[in-house]
Structure 1
Amino acid sequence: MNSFRSGHMAEKTFRIENRTSAIPKLIDDTEAWLKQGGVDHVDSYVVCVALDEIVSNIAKYAHTDDKLHLIDVRLSIVRERVVTEIEDDGVAFDPLQSAEPDLDISVEDRQIGGLGIHLVKNLMDDVAYRRDGTRNRLTLTKNRAPASTEAEQ
Structure 2
Amino acid sequence: MEIDEEKKNFPAKLENLHDMMVFVAESAKKQSLEDKNIEEIILAVEEAVANIIKYAYPNSDGDIEIRCSPEGNSGIGITIIIKDKGIPFNPLEHDEEIDVSAPIEEREIGGLGIFMMQKIMDHVLYSRENDSNILTMTKK
Please, what TM-score do these two structures have when normalized by structure 2?
0.88
TM-superposed deviation, 1:104: 3.7
Separation in 2 of the partners of 1:28 and 1:115?
Answer: 23
Separation in 2 of the partners of 1:63 and 1:100?
Answer: 28
Q: Aligned-residue CA RMSD in angstroms?
A: 1.6
Q: How many percent identity over aligned positions?
A: 29
Partner of 1:81: 77
Amino acid at match of 1:139: T
Amino acid at match of 2:90: D
Matches within 5 A, 1:2-151: 3-4=1-2, 10-65=4-59, 67-78=60-71, 79-98=75-94, 99-143=96-140
TM-superposed deviation, 1:106: 1.7
2:69 aligned counterpart, secondary structure? strand
Where does the alignment leave 5 or more consecutive residues of structure 2 unmatched? Answer: none
1:90 aligned counterpart, secondary structure? coil
String of CA shifts for 1:75-103, please: whole Å, max 9, x gaps.
Answer: 00231321000001111111111033332
Alignment check: 8 A CA contact 1:27 1:48 kept = yes
String of CA shifts for 1:22-81, please: whole Å, max 9, x gaps.
Answer: 01111122212322344331221111111101000100012221x220000100023132
Separation in 1 of the partners of 2:112 and 2:135?
Answer: 17
Which stretch of the first structure deviates more once superposed, 120-129 or 74-83? Answer: 74-83
Where does the alignment leave 5 or more consecutive residues of structure 1 unmatched? Answer: 144-153
Larger radius of gyration: 1
1:108 aligned counterpart, secondary structure? helix
How many residues of Structure 1 are paired with residues of Structure 2 in the alignment? 136
Please, what TM-score do these two structures have when normalized by structure 1?
0.81
